[in-house]
Amino acid sequence: MQSNKTKLWAGRSTEETNKLLDEFNSSFPFDFRLWRVDIKASKVHAEMLGKTGIIEQADSTKIIEGLNSIYAEIEKDERAWFEARKDEEDIHMAIERRLTDLIGEPARKLHTARSRNDQVVTDLRLWLLGQNYLTCNLLIDLRIVLTKLAERDAEQIMPGYTHLQKAQPISLGHHWLAHQERFTRDSERFEEIRKRLKFNPLGSGALAGTTYPIDRHFTTEKLGFSEPCRNSLDAVSDRDFVAEHQFASSMVMIHLSQLSEELILWSTDEFKFIDLDDRFATGSSMMPQKKNPDVPELLRGKAGRVIGNLQALLIVLKGLPLAYNKDLQEDKEGLFDTCKTLSICLEIMSRFLESIKINSERLTQATGQGFMNATDGADYLVKKGISFREAYYAVGQAVKYSVENKKSLLDLNESEWKNFHPLFDLNLKEYLQPVNCLMQRESYGGTSPKEVKKQIEKVWAYIEKHRQTFQKEGIPIHESNDSCRWSRL
């Protein structure tokens, strides 16, 4: 760690800081990944300082050139740049110091009308904007995969469950679309929180604004924000946008986890609804027969850490007075971990779903058992003018009788049926075929393949609409994930 003389904030202190404090205080090992957005924001700040005459134009130009060189340096070898400066307190100090090394005196003017308090939160918002776009992109990819599966499996019958008990026959395509809907809501959640993310805190200073004639609208526009934060105290201390991102991410992880749980069950010998592809399954070190669903299991497990990150942040925030407090530095590690986890989870779920094989025979066979046509038996009578409760009772009796005699409803003959209700007729057998139970559920949003295909059309249109919003806004990809994935810094 630097001696106090080299610390950029040294001034009032006379004694060296304790080494343990330096280590404890440092956020550089994890906020290093903010370097792109930090340079971007500093360049715009310098440009604004020059334009408003707060610093000389020539100095502004030198600062911007210096920052461009630093960008190129880091881009060339991120790791080496970081390793050479491990002792820095945070990314903001590291870049400012490097700028001073490169261009000398003008660098010392960059921090005019700015504090690290507005700087760090500006960086974090910009970085998160990149993550927000990246997440939306990955969600769209997953929704496309699910919708294609729905197209392929619209006619495939399978048991639908409530309480994990067989309930009514459904279309497998319908099942895929149900998951697609969840991820659609997730996409919308990220779109919604993007609106609040796009506020610009730069120019709020340490907490109270500044005495210089800064132009906040200029930096807002140049950085791609929609408007300046309205209150300087709030601007430097607000981390709602981090909490919202953590929540939206947790919700995606919960949806991934729920889907994973089904895939794990379906791959068991007891269900055998799907077969795992060798490329996405692992073996056991001891049991030669094993093919384990590690991908969905890890997806289910990783939901825990993301939800944990949300909780940790909420607890950090709950007791904080205005305005900046160092506790806020704790907003980052959990967020970075969440972003990294979420992006890899979304991507692998898409590839995993594309790889599994559907065991069609087994799905069809499983639909023949378990009295899943009982509701249809009741509906049959209702359509002949009987009240639903009376019809429900008659079929209940038929089910009881069948269980006792180890039969299915389809095994009962006409006279057996008549015992339960005189209005049961010969065509009942046809009516109760699982395929017919499926075909007849044509209500809006229902499971009949015909309706599922209609839904698919709507889903495609919706996905396209989301993709277009996205393109219109422009995606700052460079700020997204690059140093997030590999980084264990």
- Rounded Cα distance between 400 and 181, Å, is 37
CB of 240 to ligand ARG, least distance (A): 16
Residue of 163, 285, 415, 443 with catalytic role: 163
Residue span 306-325 as binding mask against ligand ARG, x where in contact by CB under 6 A, dash where not: ------------------x-
The neighbour count for residue 466, using CB atoms within 10 Å, is 17
DSSP state of 480: S
Identify the residue among 67, 103, 120, 484 touching ligand ARG (CB under 6 A). Answer: 120
Q: Residue 27, interface with ligand ARG (CB under 6 A)?
A: yes
Task: Tell me whether residue 350 is one of the annotated catalytic residues.
Answer: no
- Rounded Cα distance between 48 and 424, Å, is 83
CB of 274 to ligand ARG, least distance (A): 45
Residue of 13, 284, 387, 478 with catalytic role: 284
CB closer to ligand ARG, 90 vs 153: 90
DSSP characters for 394-437?
HHHHHHHHHHHTT--GGG--HHHHHHH-TT--TTHHHHTSHHHH
Half-sphere exposure of 195 (CA within 13 A, CB side): 5
Rounding to the nearest 10 degrees, give the CA dihedral for residues 19, 24, 30, 35: -60
Rounding to the nearest 10 degrees, give the CA dihedral for residues 97, 102, 104, 108: -40
- Rounded Cα distance between 358 and 180, Å, is 18
Contact between 117 and 322 (Cβ < 8 Å): no
CB closer to ligand ARG, 67 vs 316: 316
- C-alpha torsion sign, points 63, 64, 69, 70: positive
Task: Tell me whether residue 163 is one of the annotated catalytic residues.
Answer: yes
CB closer to ligand ARG, 91 vs 177: 91
Nearest in space to 85 (alpha carbons), one of 94, 76, 74, 75: 94
Identify the residue among 2, 258, 329, 364 touching ligand ARG (CB under 6 A). Answer: 329
Nearest in space to 423 (alpha carbons), one of 471, 383, 370: 383
CB of 220 to ligand ARG, least distance (A): 21
Nearest in space to 216 (alpha carbons), one of 229, 234, 198: 229
CB of 14 to ligand ARG, least distance (A): 19
The neighbour count for residue 293, using CB atoms within 10 Å, is 23
Q: Residue 117, interface with ligand ARG (CB under 6 A)?
A: yes
Q: Choose one: 53-61, 95-103, 116-124, 413-421; the region binding ligand ARG (CB under 6 A).
A: 116-124
CB of 124 to ligand ARG, least distance (A): 8
CB closer to ligand ARG, 233 vs 298: 233
CB closer to ligand ARG, 90 vs 215: 90
CB of 96 to ligand ARG, least distance (A): 12
CB closer to ligand ARG, 95 vs 391: 95
Instruction: Specify the pairing of strand 227-228 against strand 357-358.
Output: unpaired
- Binding to ligand ARG (CB under 6 A) within 380-439 occurs at none
Q: Residue 328, interface with ligand ARG (CB under 6 A)?
A: yes
Contact between 109 and 59 (Cβ < 8 Å): yes
How far from 79 is each of 32, 87, 109, 254, CA to CA, in Å? 10, 14, 28, 34
CB of 203 to ligand ARG, least distance (A): 16
Identify the residue among 45, 116, 300, 302 touching ligand ARG (CB under 6 A). Answer: 116
CB closer to ligand ARG, 31 vs 47: 31
CB of 26 to ligand ARG, least distance (A): 8
Contact between 85 and 32 (Cβ < 8 Å): no
CB closer to ligand ARG, 109 vs 332: 332
Residue span 81-100 as binding mask against ligand ARG, x where in contact by CB under 6 A, dash where not: ---------x----------
Q: Residue 363, interface with ligand ARG (CB under 6 A)?
A: no
Q: Choose one: 113-121, 133-141, 182-190, 440-448; the region binding ligand ARG (CB under 6 A).
A: 113-121
CB closer to ligand ARG, 118 vs 153: 118
Q: Choose one: 114-122, 126-134, 368-376, 443-451; the region binding ligand ARG (CB under 6 A).
A: 114-122
The helix (H) or strand (E) run that includes residue 120 is helix 116-153
- Burial category of 380 from C-beta neighbours within 10 Å (exposed 0-12, middle 13-18, buried 19 and up): buried
Q: Residue 17, interface with ligand ARG (CB under 6 A)?
A: no
Size of the site for ligand ARG (CB under 6 A): 9
Nearest in space to 88 (alpha carbons), one of 38, 34, 22: 22
List of residues contacting ligand ARG (CB under 6 A): 27, 31, 90, 116-117, 120, 324, 328-329
* Catalytic residue list: 163, 284
